[in-house]
Structure 1
């Protein structure tokens, strides 16, 4: 396993986060998956107040294994579609969601806390002040944003610096080799080229959700297969099919699979990144481990993303 550091967290953080979106219950297959992840050195989990019941299941597993202090928990709050009608990016919703998340997880703090959506009509000042209260209370170790534009994150961090507050120390948008034509879900943000250039400049860690673009590079899709309406709507474009063809070519040269190339692309950006993964079995997880150890050169990353026509030999 490889690791990064995020300001405010005194633990090393595995570059593969285990997502909990499919963690519906704790039966033998789920336990085997979680055991495989821990045995491989993984220690970071992604969940959210809005993920129906997932925090409770993760909390149950934490209580059974007694591993809480060795692990890094990222949870998210203030999602628009979470109980009361949205938007909900305000101090009251943050306070409510965080308290409920801590109770569900059975812990008195989370290592990483992110706002799950943004409301650009709300000033950043009250939001950052509220989050800093929870930092000071020890309920959160580091704060970040999920599905915020990099310009809003910059604005929030400038406000924090001017008011002696702690700013966002990570960003969690979508980042994948396949570029979405439109938001996969309402309010979701994907890291475009301008965002990536901002991350190069700031070196703010990026924790990528849907890092494998919903399986676009799995070989289960083709331009003629239009049965999955969401995949067609979000990812079917000439440029993405060219990215797919290049991933296939590079995979053949390296003796791996295209989906491993796609995950490696996310992990070998010129700024700190992690990938949130959702493997369904230990075999898929070990494939992700191989992707993490499959180093890509900067030229290969640029070629895969159509930023250059050839890879210099």
Structure 2
């Protein structure tokens, strides 16, 4: 599997990243099976977060890492500083506290990748970068990025890092998918728009996309008249996205693959480095993602799928 080189890491990031929002020790047999299968197809990066399953996702991953003895082979990526009932958490004390707990759950003394789960625009980017650089210097994280930040804040952070001799963000993790979100799936989430795409192409900052397959919109389980999934309807149902679905289906038929594989290939064939967080829960879903990662789309096909041609 192709990998993306990220400054500060000891190994590249596989372009498919295993999502773990359903992981927990209670289903450890499934977690073990799915992570073993992910590694077998060339995956090496696992995405989790302090808040996933109230920490049980990180706990399950830590169990697997310890059992397999493969810490040096795996990129662990966790996220922190998500707002809670007390408000925003993008501050030194909260980041330090949550990261310490995450490391204990993951049974390691460092994570390869760390991301702020949300932004807090009341906090200057310089202050945030100083906090994250402290964690790099302490060896608790190797590289850091942002999740659900606007491209404008990312550009401001990049400029500050360059002018102050600091390490800057090495990746961004918004929602990038062929279907365009009409509104955030969860509060405070950011989906890629045309300006964001252009900025990433110019800056070269990689995107690690969550909901890269648009929450199952392209699986074929849903139709224009099926409104059984209220969140899917709220976020993705409009004429433009159904036209994208139709075009993906047509291209899939031409190439002898599935519609959802074309949708994933769209994410992985942007003109800058991208990786896709996937959430397969069985071998068939994993192999579908693996095969989709090998599909090459032309620039014209990308534009056509996205209604730009």
TM range (shorter): over 0.9
Residue matched to 2:152: 151
Residue matched to 2:137: 136
Q: Would you say 1:120 and 2:121 are equivalent positions?
A: yes
Pairs aligned (count): 306
Distance, in Å, in 1 between the alignment partners of 2:169 and 2:176 is 18
TM-score, reference length from structure 2: 0.97
Deviation, structure 1 residue 27: 3.9
Secondary structure at 1:8 match in 2: coil
Residue matched to 2:42: 41
Taking the TM superposition and a 5 Å limit, the aligned residue runs for 1:1-313 are 1-25=1-25, 26-51=27-52, 52=54, 53-81=56-84, 84-308=85-309
Q: Which moved more, 1:89-98 or 1:280-289?
A: 89-98
Deviation, structure 1 residue 31: 2.3
Q: What runs of 5+ residues in structure 1 fail to find an aligned partner?
A: 309-313
Deviation, structure 1 residue 238: 0.6
Distance, in Å, in 1 between the alignment partners of 2:96 and 2:138 is 12
Distance, in Å, in 2 between the alignment partners of 1:255 and 1:61 is 36
Q: What runs of 5+ residues in structure 2 fail to find an aligned partner?
A: none
Cα shift readout 1:213-241 (whole Å, capped 9, x = no counterpart): 00000011111111111001000011000
Q: CA RMSD in A?
A: 1.0
C-alpha change, 1:29 and 1:88, in structure 2 (3 Å) is: closer
Secondary structure at 1:58 match in 2: helix
TM-score, reference length from structure 1: 0.96
Distance, in Å, in 2 between the alignment partners of 1:225 and 1:134 is 48
Deviation, structure 1 residue 40: 1.1
Secondary structure at 2:267 match in 1: helix
Q: Which moved more, 1:32-41 or 1:132-141?
A: 32-41
Question: Does the Cα contact within 8 Å between 2:173 and 2:207 map onto a contact in 1?
Answer: yes
Question: Does the Cα contact within 8 Å between 2:31 and 2:60 map onto a contact in 1?
Answer: no
